[in-house]
Amino acid sequence: MLSGWQEYFSEARDQHGRFPYASSVQARYGFVALPVVNYYFDVLKTAVEHTTGRPLHPRTWGPGAPFAAFISHDLDNLRSAWKAPAKAALRTGRLVDFGRQLWQHWTHPDAWDNIEAVAAATAQYGARSTFFVLPAHRPGADGTPNADYQLTARLWRQLAKLAKQGHELALHASIGTANNFTQFDAERQRVLDAEWCGNRFHYLRWEPRLTPSILNQAGDSYDSTLGFAEHFGFRNSYCHPFYPFDFQHNQPYSFLEIPLNVMDATLHHPNYLQLGPDEILPALTPMLVEVEKFGGVVSVLWHNQNFDPVNTANGPQQFHEIMSWLRGRGAAFLTGTEIWAQFPAA
């Protein structure tokens, strides 16, 4: 499970080229929210303690924190909050409302142009977020959308301000990069001066026979793509960061993987789970308790557009409920680079 064997040797892929949750062992036996590999390691730990007569103490994070939380935001859309209500107004013949939406679009900042507010929302918990920035504006070759914005001077200034506040910036590599080193490296070169050392692929695209070698060749410090879009939990059945396994060379890759456990879209989406707003935290809590039990890292992705107050399904209230739970349990909020620094390569 930890090595990714099941997806490396499987031909199953979804419309985005991803290994589907439905084809996984976790789905078949219903243990996606259990870090099974950690339980196996715990058996080994008990055996070693019994043999040596010495206790093996669990890892702690920060000043005695029992587990860690990696909070991140993929910046896919900054300019499109107006589109859905405008289309709805036009479709139903509410021309005045349609005109109002257009006027607000041209004269006011978009509701999703909110990265400073997102940073403030996490900072109130003593947390610093990691913002994954998508450099590509045009759709991918298959028509899948990339960013609805461009990296303007104004946006660069906003991002620089976040970095000065202690938040982290990382690459959100665009459609096609997970299968093409040249394209991936070109995007890295665009942000090379910014010294971003982390990555997450757009749409969580990941081809297990190719993508890890691209990251390895590029020299990235860490990635945080490996999670199931369809369900929260543990894609590799492990609640700690790890160095992925290179099946071709029978050794670990040089980049650290910080698995993705929770994505906002997973929780409420027509194609994924359809949890009610009051069901989200109760559904996640058993999984979060497992991470706490093993002193692991829980990775939470909340897109900036889902901080829009009009979103009551998987919006700011649900994010704050998760953050309050994590803070109440003493989690250490760390950026990807801070986590990477605690896992030196062999």
Question: How confident is the model at residue 92, as a pLDDT?
Answer: 64
* 52: Cβ contacts below 8 Å, ≥ 6 apart: none
Place of tokens 């196996």: 40
Contact criterion met (CB below 8 Å) for 207 and 178 = yes
Name every residue whose Cβ is closer than 8 Å to that of residue 232 and which is 6 or more positions away in sequence: 32, 33, 261, 262, 263, 266, 267, 273, 283, 284, 287
CA distance 179 to 71: 26
Tokens of 33: 């929210």
Distance (Å, rounded) from C-alpha 213 to C-alpha 237? 22
pTM above 0.75, yes or no: yes
Task: Please name the helix (run of DSSP H) or strand (run of DSSP E) that holds residue 246, with its range, or none.
Answer: strand 245-246
Residues 6+ apart with CB under 8 A from 329: 66, 67, 288, 292
pLDDT digits (tens, 9 = 90+) for 141-155: 999 999 999 999 999
pLDDT tens for the chain, 346 residues long, are 899 999 999 999 999 999 999 999 999 999 999 999 999 999 999 999 999 999 988 888 978 899 999 999 999 999 887 565 545 545 665 554 655 655 565 556 788 999 999 999 999 999 999 999 999 999 999 999 999 999 999 999 999 999 999 999 999 999 999 999 999 999 998 886 667 889 999 999 999 999 999 999 999 999 999 999 999 999 999 999 999 999 999 999 999 999 999 999 999 999 999 999 999 999 999 999 999 999 999 999 999 999 999 999 999 999 999 999 999 999 999 999 999 999 987 6
* Phi, psi for residue 116 in degrees, rounded to 5: -70, -35
Report the C-alpha gap between 202 and 187 in whole angstroms: 13
Structural domains in the chain, sorted by start: 5-78+113-341 (3.20.20.370)
On whether the CB atoms of residues 283 and 325 are closer than 8 A, the answer is: no
Measured in whole angstroms, how far is the alpha carbon of residue 41 from the centre of its chain?
A: 25
